[in-house]
Amino acid sequence: MSDEWLDAPWAKAVMCCIADPAADLDFTRAHGWPEWMPLDVALTEPFTRVKLGRWFLRGQSDQPSAIIAAGAARRSRLAFLPGQDAVRLMRLAGAWVGASGLTGLIRTSDIAVVRAALGEEAVAFAPQAALLPRPTAELMSAIGASDIPSAPGSLLHCGAAMFGLAIGPIPPMLRTRLGLRRPAPIWAVAVDACRDDNAGEDAFNAMLRLVRKRIPTWSYWFN
């Protein structure tokens, strides 16, 4: 494979994904890890964390070149976003899906429940999200939200599904890495949605709209 990809702005994220898959590990996924090495210690020591990541990926036959190739696809680059930033996008996507219902909340207790599930940023974003073009019927169906869910947890799952759908099909080794991230239940939804689907482009364009609302440092990956 040509080394030209090393000049890409997302090259560092790809290399970190290959070398350090346990960087954002959800402890609940650490089944069978030896008890004599506490996970919190393993995650704070870079060398041990790399060994931990390799332990989780044992039996994977995909070569790193498959992950590098995934970075060449514009949609697949979403898979290389920092874990916390990716979850932020999922929360914003959930707020976008349920914007009409969220903006109509009045009771303090209801708002507190939404804030706990989606986060303060997503709650504050809901009025803006209500002004954006609404999700297409096909996209709503693809993320399991044909009937707009009222539960905040359901909205977060819709946002996670939209994120995975936007990524599209990716190599199994990369799917495994994403599945190790925290919080595990949300990433499980996202990984399950990483497939070829007619609504994938709509989901990706929606993610770009959300990215441009926040303009994080990695947003130029998609320019």
Query: pLDDT tens, 141-162?
Result: 999 887 666 677 889 999 999 9
* SS3 at position 154: helix
Burial call 91-125: b when 16+ CB within 10 Å, e when fewer: bbbbbbbbbebbeebeeeeeeeebeebbbeebbeb
pLDDT confidence band for 44 (50 / 70 / 90):
confident
Q: Is the pLDDT of residue 1 over 60?
A: no
Cα–Cα dist 216/17, whole Å: 19
Q: What pLDDT score was predicted for residue 216?
A: 84
pLDDT tens readout for residues 85-131: 999 999 999 999 988 888 887 677 778 888 888 999 998 999 999 99
Q: How far is CA 73 from CA 5, 8, 113, 169, 221, in A?
A: 12, 12, 37, 10, 11
Mean pLDDT of 68-97: 94
pTM of the model: 0.92
Joined tokens for residue 163: 């994120």
The three-point CA angle 148-153-155 to 5° equals 35
Contact 85, 181 (CB under 8 A): no
Contact 117, 153 (CB under 8 A): yes
Q: What pLDDT score was predicted for residue 147?
A: 66
Identify which has the larger pLDDT, 206 or 30. 206
Closest to 114 in 3D by CA, of 156, 162, 157: 156
* SS3 at position 57: coil
Q: How far is CA 151 from CA 21, 48, 114, 123, 188, in A?
A: 32, 40, 8, 14, 19
Instruction: Using the Cα atoms of residue 106, residue 112, residue 117 and residue 121 in order, give the sign of their dihedral.
Output: positive
Query: How is residue 182 annotated by DSSP?
Result: S
* CB under 8 A, 24+ apart: contacts of 107-116: 113/152, 114/152, 116/152
* SS3 at position 171: coil
* SS3 at position 70: helix
| Mean confidence (pLDDT) of the chain | 88
Identify which has the larger pLDDT, 3 or 138. 138
Q: Is the pLDDT of residue 218 over 60?
A: yes
Q: Looking at this protein, which amino acid is placed at residue 222?
A: F
Mean pLDDT of 63-90: 93
